[in-house]
Structure 1
């Protein structure tokens, strides 16, 4: 009887009740860091809200964008999020922003639990989110990426049932931070694709035009994004971290809002990173043209793969970018038949090492010493490995459909409903 009771308690803790308990405990700890009741180790991570967002706030409220500030590198829809603390007038701007970020985090957790109902493992996606945000640390609440991620996740969750709604949400997300349009990468062929993409592109265009008419400088961010270089945490930066030990005389410095390498050959490496992103785009187009077998999980696997490869090849891999991957990975993990469980797990581990390299040991990263280079090598190596595995598994599960047979057998063995197949000719 005691064994049965303990098993029952363990099952409850692994389910929604355990998610809620874990969320409450971990977020209480994170809020202690965010509100500075307890110092978080390493470099201070809340500067953006204190020194950047708060300075932009009066400019945005006046009806214009901070188009003379090179650190303004966001699509025009970001203005709505950065002005959102006005809904809590009884708090300071900084505290209101943190509260809104926490409420968004709570809403995402509830959303994952609601959409997970009726599945074999209803809390699987929520656990990925709760654990991922925990290991990402207080940076999650010190950037507006958690709000953008919530919009992208909801778009992906609505993709199969209501492609028009998914497209609308993806379009709104695109005007917040561009990447949410990637959630439409794996839309089922035919009418769902036409509806989702037409609504996505149309919504982004309407929102963009509206901001351009209403507020001067809506698209000034494009110039500042174009001129960015190679950030010290990116994959391309590994070349210069090693080169500094071999006599290269470049240095890291604050440039366009982040710490980037400045010196000889940086421009060339930045272009190489852009070329890798273009190759990633070409691979996704080829995959889309060659894919023949779409399961229920394919749209979610494709969205996570697309976001993962573009994040990995980017000239900039800021810590908050991991929030995007955690969110889309959580949705992907909810789906029975997903072939990307390992890449999602690798992303969670990469998030932990991201927190170590920034902010905990960022001084070592900026100095390119052995400890800093080791941390970056592990983190970026995990992202590369996750990208390669995700691409191979997505290709194998859709272009070479026989691979789905053992996946279906594993799904049955795990007590999950095997994915239905849609074959296009």
Structure 2
């Protein structure tokens, strides 16, 4: 009877995943056209162009839209493992495979003592809400690395460090997975990152040229700071909305000031995380994922230039890992992230023309999406702080948490 129950519990998420992902593949394969601009052109045009350059042994040194760390080349080159398919079709299938790997890891983790299948359901439900964009960017591959790092990290800190370092060389943000990690993870991450960076630097010309490609960027129209200019356009702001560095950005008066203010918020978020880590001490295992989700939420919301739709797949993945722990207090932030994913697909690609035009429908969509992410970030921060408050912290900024099931602390 127990075996049958386990099979039924696995069948439901697997069947739901299969149906929803089949629909996503039908959209990216263009069997059916998804409303709005074609989100697959990034793969068929931009990624394919980078692929042709990278396969000759150099990075796209003359392309300012190449804004990624050197290991991103592995994702761009990955369709070469399926030479019998077109570049775009191979990429979409590999993105789907990364999606499946995340689900498998969450299902396995959810069956362990002290764990929960909720995490797998967050992933199953959250990803398709983003629409076909999720398979038309390489972020789902990076998220797979991040999920593997967090799931391994509760027992093997060095594995967390190595995978976080590799993820950071894919797309920077996975370095934030170390927010709640122990010293061994940090040391391993530093050694791994240094070794991989040196390997890329000596073997492929222009590995770190991307660092100089973003100096003149404006504020991307989907960021939190962009709301200032969306509203200001209705009151005579004289700036422009242009395709700049591969994205639609605001350029003009006061853009640099808003960017500076956003950078200040990012520094403040970093300072808060540092303060939290110094006072938290020894942490239960589930806090590793909670700290990662909180850190990525805070740094996404305060992003100086951009909150792209594909960023939501990072947050869905981290929220799923959090909820795979029964003791996690991140249910509300996870639900806010899933809801923000649905609003995101309404904003891009469905309503992107309204966003670019700054009409009130587009502004409302953006305000709701970014507002949900801001609420998720603040809620996660509050719960992270209170759940790790020392017993004597009677004057802590947040009230003490309710009693929750305990988990074994992360090894130090």
Mapping of residues 69-88 of structure 1, within 5 Å:
69-88=63-82
Indicate if the aligned counterparts of 2:297 and 2:315 stay in contact, CA closer than 8 A: yes
Mapping of residues 18-417 of structure 1, within 5 Å:
18-119=12-113, 122-187=116-181, 193-292=182-281, 294-314=283-303, 315-401=305-391, 406-408=402-404, 417=405
Structure-2-length-normalised TM-score: 0.94
What stretches of structure 1 of length at least 5 have no aligned partner? 188-192, 409-416
Deviation at 1:83, TM superposition (A): 0.5
Deviation at 1:294, TM superposition (A): 2.2
Deviation at 1:420, TM superposition (A): 4.8
Deviation at 1:180, TM superposition (A): 0.8
Cα distance between partner residues in 1 of 2:169 and 2:337: 26
Indicate if the aligned counterparts of 2:218 and 2:250 stay in contact, CA closer than 8 A: yes
Deviations 1:30-80 (A, max 9, x none): 111111111101121111101100001111011100021010000000111
Indicate if the aligned counterparts of 1:16 and 1:122 stay in contact, CA closer than 8 A: no
Deviation at 1:156, TM superposition (A): 0.8
Q: Secondary structure of 2:283's partner?
A: strand
Structure-1-length-normalised TM-score: 0.91
Cα distance between partner residues in 2 of 1:342 and 1:122: 16
Deviation at 1:229, TM superposition (A): 2.0
Cα distance between partner residues in 2 of 1:12 and 1:368: 49
Cα distance between partner residues in 2 of 1:11 and 1:77: 39
RMSD: 2.1
Cα distance between partner residues in 2 of 1:355 and 1:285: 34
Q: Secondary structure of 1:161's partner?
A: coil
Deviation at 1:226, TM superposition (A): 3.7
User: Does 2:380 correspond to 1:419?
Assistant: no
Cα distance between partner residues in 1 of 2:409 and 2:100: 34
Deviation at 1:295, TM superposition (A): 2.3
Indicate if the aligned counterparts of 1:346 and 1:383 stay in contact, CA closer than 8 A: yes
